[in-house]
Amino acid sequence: MKHFSYLNEIQKEKVFFKFPNNFSKKSSKNILEISLGATLYMPATKQTISEIIMKGSILGLASVVFCLEDAIGDNEVELAEKNLLKNLKEIKEKSIKNNNEKNLPIMFIRIRNPKHLITLKEQFREVLDIVSGFVLPKFDSENAVTYLENIIKISTKTKFYAMPILETERVIDKRLRYDELQQLLIIFQKYRDIILNLRVGATDLSGLFGLRRNPDTTIYNIMVIRDFLGDVINYFKRHDFIISGVVWEYFQNTKENNRILKPQLRQTPFLENFGTKGMETRKLLLDEYTDGLLSEVVMDKVNGFFGKTIIHPSHVIPVQSMYIVTHEEYLDAKEILKKNNGDMGVFKSDYSNKMNEIKPHLKWAKEVIKRAEIYGVFKENENYTSLFI
């Protein structure tokens, strides 16, 4: 598996200063945790799961979650489990037959509760080795240890990772939050080896207050959620946990001229790089509400979130295009690491537009280089728009 492998060689040579590296289900945790990119949620009731995965019909898809919880009705669980089992069998058989197991996206199952892990292990025993782990909904200190111990319990022949979702009243209620986050931090540190990343259920949390963002705004415009997201970063990113950006739930504008605010996607990068064709592409992105998504990904990155839950295939390329390291970022990061020898504290960047201060920027630089290995580096005059044309 490699990000942007759908590009041909000419396109790759045009776009990339440094090409992305391979990763797979068997990659080390420190590689896998940043490799998921845009993680597509797919209802486990979907009949064509194996066809979609094996044909690679979703360009750029690197990770997928088959959902047995909120994406299906409470009365559909048995049906969904049977359908998912059937499709995972097909995926396993076809991938072995075609010898392309390394090209499969990283796959996870979203379960319903801690007990569900145990029953699922018995039912899915013959196919779980192609799955990388489980998404754990409604995760808080009351069920955390049971969830994580059950992950360990079923990891006999295959190591499974956990992706907990913080989305209950215990984490959002300020009267409980700080004690709750501290308890979770202690638990996360104990089980660090199996926690691939942390996720935030912004839709569920917003729903507790009767709130929902519109396509003209980002999750950071909802004050109560923004406040919580800051606390999540404060508690967990400082201890080097990867925290995924929240889901973006809009994917198509069915009515023209229904915007309240101005579009957030600047014209200049499209116009200067691609002229009329670029402006047509920009309009298409606006029509699909993708400008709001891109704006939210920018806010995710600057606030310390990485990776994003998505619910529509059209979101894969826009999200992952934003994770490619810019040429400027790469040069800055390389120089910061190179000059981290005690001889200086600050220096002018290669682009002569900023100062690079070694001590406060060192952790940032290490993260940039790590991201560059998986998502690559743009050439000097290329940017995210290059992936849309």
- Predicted confidence (pLDDT) at residue 332 exceeds the cutoff of 80: yes
Among 21-25, 55-59, 84-88, 99-103, which stretch is predicted with the lowest mean pLDDT? 99-103
Closest residue by Cα to residue 226 from 214, 236, 218: 218
Q: Which residue carries 């709750």 as its tokens? A: 180
pLDDT at 273: 63
pLDDT at 139: 98
Domains of the chain: 9-265+288-321 (3.20.20.60)
**DSSP-derived 3-state class of residue 2:** coil
Distance CA 192, CA 67 (A): 24
Number of Cβ within 10 Å of residue 132's Cβ equals: 25
Helix axes 290-303, 223-236, angle to 10 degrees: 40
The burial of 164, by beta-carbon neighbours within 10 Å (0-12 exposed, 13-18 middle, 19 or more buried), is given as buried
Q: What is the pTM of this model?
A: 0.91
Contacts of 131 (CB under 8 A, 6+ apart): 88, 107, 108, 109, 124, 158, 160
Comparing 264 with 373, which gets the higher pLDDT? 373
Q: Are 64 and 48 in contact (CB under 8 A)?
A: no
Q: Give just the sign of the alpha carbon dihedral 249, 254, 259, 264.
A: positive
Mean pLDDT of the chain: 91
pLDDT tens digits, one per residue of 167-222: 999 999 999 999 999 999 999 999 999 999 999 999 999 999 999 998 888 999 99
pLDDT at 305: 97
Contacts of 8 (CB under 8 A, 6+ apart): none
pLDDT tens digits, one per residue of 229-263: 999 999 999 999 999 999 998 876 655 555 544 55
Closest residue by Cα to residue 49 from 69, 65, 33: 65
Q: Mean pLDDT throughout 333-340?
A: 95
**DSSP-derived 3-state class of residue 57:** coil
Contacts of 272 (CB under 8 A, 6+ apart): 278
Secondary element (H or E) of residue 151: helix 144-154
pLDDT tens digits, one per residue of 28-45: 999 999 999 999 999 999
Among 106-110, 150-154, 160-164, 263-267, which stretch is predicted with the lowest mean pLDDT? 263-267
pLDDT at 172: 97
- Predicted confidence (pLDDT) at residue 276 exceeds the cutoff of 70: no
pLDDT at 151: 97
Distance CA 166, CA 228 (A): 10
**DSSP-derived 3-state class of residue 241:** coil
pLDDT at 311: 93
Distance CA 351, CA 74 (A): 56
- Predicted confidence (pLDDT) at residue 309 exceeds the cutoff of 80: yes
Q: Mean pLDDT throughout 153-175?
A: 95
* Whole-number percent of the chain with pLDDT over 70: 90
Which amino acid, 115? Answer: K
Distance CA 203, CA 70 (A): 11
Distance CA 323, CA 118 (A): 36
pLDDT at 260: 46
Distance CA 338, CA 334 (A): 6
Q: Are 330 and 372 in contact (CB under 8 A)?
A: yes
Q: Mean pLDDT throughout 372-378?
A: 98
Q: Mean pLDDT throughout 68-76?
A: 93
